[in-house]
Chains A and B, each alone.
Chain A
Amino acid sequence: MLTAEQNDELTQVDAGTPMGEVLRRYWYPVAFTRELAEFPVKRVELLGEFFALWRSPSGRYGIVPEACPHRKASLAYGVVESNGLRCPYHGWVFDEAGACVDQPAERDDTRFGDRVSAQAGVAEEMGGLVWAYVGPAPAPRLPRFDTYVMEGFRDIGWADLPCNYVQIMENAVDPHHVEWLHGRYFQFIGRHEGFTSPASFAKKHQKVGFTPFEWGIIKRRVLEGASEENDDWKVGHPLVFPYNMRVGGGGVHQMQIRVPINRTTTRFMLYTVHRPDEGYEHVEQPVVPDYRIPVVDADGRHVVNYVEGQDIMAWVTQGAITDRTTEHLGRSDIGVAMLRKMFREQMDRVARGEDPLGTIREEHERIDLPCEKDKFHAGAQFALDFCDMGSTRFSPMLDAIKKIHVSAAERVASGSS
């Protein structure tokens, strides 16, 4: 339970608010790489602001606020040219640094152009996504988390959800929900719809723990029949501050991404890499495929017969911004309290002029995040459950993904890996 003021502060995303200023210190995925290959300019909403994102003919990316500094027409309808983005209205051109480099109807012997910088952000491509930083300069490095740069077979499921991102992030430090939402509730739905839900998701929790670390919070659990020697406790998996969670197991590696589009809309993305530890033979992908995951059915009811659909139901039905003034947390929600503290600490750090948790300024090749390999001590079965019972079953790549896991297992069994 929080006061209304604390809840308000925690859930804000707009510029000038304490939390909005924290969020502007991070990079966000704002487009699929293939989108700008298909058409080189896109309107993007991020943190409650609109931007024009473009890819130059030479492959460089730029991002500027959508409104042209001249007469405020949308640069998202701009003309992509070799030296920048040309406003469709009067032809002013802005380069990737935001500088106005052409004002066709103005005299070129004045310094008028210097007055109208578009105040650009920075954009880069990584792992089939275009990433943007729209905070104060100098931008930190784009963190090269393992999932985005590792070898493997990729796909990206996504949906835009009508709720604030914080209630989604609180789910990432709530281990107990798994045995109920993805266990008991899944069994209930399965009985009515005629399928068998995955047994490993219903295992009872005996102990949960949370460890702050340099990228966020590591979540740990001991499930019935396991011990602190099992991966679920010994390794755990992290909430990656402030808007991600790294999960996986059984040769599946996933970053769950929750981009605050605005205060009450979150883009939920499941960036998944299939890469069995043994027996994997790499399959080239010229384009990383993306697909929408279902949120509601034709009657407006949540689709709850797959794991992430259940999560979405729990997040969205709390309301656009959950009312934390009348919630009733228990001891089992202590991870939620820890996360709120972490958010609050970063507001203070940014107010002091410091970088918040999880920003990096050093050049680096890859950031490996801790993540259990033997998830729910279910072994390779986890990968198959993941394909059949999670969002992957909606992927256009489902057959290829299953083949990757089955072929790898067969190679291991035959000793040919």
Chain B
Amino acid sequence: MQAPPDRRFAADAEAHRRDAPRHCPACGAPPAIATEFWEGTARRFYCSCSACGWTGEITPTGDVAVGHEPEH
């Protein structure tokens, strides 16, 4: 019934399943839903928690902490 999986992006689907947050940062319960979206090269997860009502975005960063330099 669902559209067949798009094989071109199987790796992205797998990465989503692997990286989607498993715990609410506020209370530790499993998030009710985590919708992944991209902002530039950053992957972000828009999450909400049924247990405590927390809503927010979680961004995996990897090992490197990246700063920024506004024009100055």
Contacts and interface: CB of A to CB of B under 8 A. Distances in A.
B36 A1 contact: yes
B37 A345 contact: no
A336 interface: yes
Interface of B: 1-6, 8-10, 12-13, 16-17, 20, 32-39, 46, 48, 50, 55
Give the secondary structure class of B's interface: mixed
B34 to A, nearest CB: 8
B12 A1 contact: yes
A30 B8 CA distance: 40
B2 A330 contact: no
Contact of B37 (A7, A264, A323, A337): A337
26 contacts: A1-B12, A1-B36, A2-B34, A2-B36, A8-B2, A263-B1, A264-B1, A320-B1, A321-B1, A322-B2, A323-B6, A326-B5, A326-B6, A326-B9, A326-B12, A326-B13, A330-B38, A331-B39, A336-B35, A337-B35, A337-B37, A340-B33, A341-B35, A341-B55, A344-B33, A345-B48
B55 A323 contact: no
B12 A323 contact: no
B18 to A, nearest CB: 11
A367 interface: no
Contacts of A333: 37
Nearest to B38: A330
Interface residues of A, number: 31
B46 A328 contact: no
A333 B39 CA distance: 10
Contacts of A331: 37-39
Contacts of B10: 326
Contacts of A59: none
Most buried by B among A7, A319, A326, A329: A326
A340 B2 contact: no
A412 interface: no
Contacts of A344: 32-33, 48, 50
A319 B46 contact: no
Interface in A279-306: none
A325 interface: yes
A83 to B, nearest CB: 41
A227 interface: no
B33 A2 contact: yes
Interface string A1-43: 1110011100100000000000000000000000000000000
Contacts of A328: 9, 12, 38
